[in-house]
Structures are given as structure tokens and as C-alpha cells.
Amino acid sequence: MNVDIRIERSVEVDAPFKKVAPLLDDLEGTIKRFPKLRKLTKLGNNAYLWEMSVIGSKVANIAHEVSYGAKYSIDAKRGELSWQPIADRGNATIEGRFKLLDEGDKTKLIFNVRGKLRDVPVPLMYRLLAPPFIQGKFTRLVDIFLESTRDAVLTPKKR
């Protein structure tokens, strides 16, 4: 079964844009905060293959190890990191953007993602429930990513 996902989430950081902007300079460090990311393989300049741990519920027999390739573009002036899928890499096509929005003494982190998960094993009796269930699982992962990214910006670095 193929499952479409579409997520838009945001979180506010109690820090000015200038303090948050280095997130765009550390592409791998920012990506690696994403929960359930098991392995990140560099495919080329700003291109990576994501391999994630199982997402879903083994009890309901809706569990999938998502993998996909993405090519990243950074527009530091606009405070934006965007990505496009790399064809024929993995079992999903995912595209999106991570935007830093300057709000004076605060910065809003905005995360948009959409894509398709292919060949998700779903028992027939759960076919109607699977898409919103999987969407919910991914939405929670995005929320955790945004929260941990916010916390990383606010936590002083040890020297």
C-alpha cells in the first residue's frame, strides 16, 4: 500500500534569527536530530540517503522502515533549507523545507514535508486506518525534531 504524507508544523525559539541561523550551516548536524534516523549516507554534495528505524506499530502489523534520497538546497538569506527527492533511492519520495522566520527577539522554525511512502505492508483490515495512523506517527517525529532543534539552539555549547 502507498501512503501519502503531508505535514506542516512549527515551533518558536526564544532566540533571535542570528543565533538560530547556524542551523543552516550544519546540514548534517541538523538532519541527524530527526528521530528514528538510523543511518545517513552521503550520496554527493548536499545529497543524502536516509534510512530510518521501524515506524508504526508491530502490534497492529503496520510497521515500515522508510528510506529515501534527498538533495538539499540552502538559501541562507531567506533562512531556508529545502530538499527534493532523488529518484529511485529507497521506498519513499519526500520533499520539503525547513524555514527560519525572523520575529525580532524570537525565531519561528517552520517545517513542511510531503511525500509518498511506497509498499507499506498493511493488513487488509487496517487499510482505512493506516494512512491517518502513519501520518500521526510522522507528525510526532516532526514535533520531536523541532523541539530537539529548539533545545539545541538554546543550550549553551560546552567548551
More confidently predicted of 53 and 63:
53
- Percent of the chain clearing pLDDT 90 (strictly above): 75
Residue 111 and residue 141 in contact, taking contact as beta carbons nearer than 8 Å: no
How much is the average pLDDT of 63-68?
Answer: 89
Non-local CB neighbours of 96 within 8 Å, separated by 6+ positions: 82, 83, 111, 112, 113, 114, 115
Please, which pLDDT band fits residue 157 given cuts at 50, 70 and 90?
low
pLDDT of residue 158: 58
* Mean pLDDT, residues 36-40 taken together: 95
Single pTM value for the model = 0.90
> What distance in Å separates the CA atoms of residue 137 and residue 124, rounded to the nearest whole number?
20
Q: What is the CATH superfamily name and number for domain 3-154?
A: START domain (3.30.530.20)
State mean pLDDT over 100-116.
97
Name which residue leads in pLDDT, 138 or 158: 138
Domains of the chain by residue range: 3-154
Instruction: Look up residue 23 and give its three cell numbers.
Output: 542551523
Q: Is the pLDDT of residue 88 over 80?
A: yes
- Average pLDDT score, the chain: 92
Helix (H) or strand (E) holding 108: strand 106-117
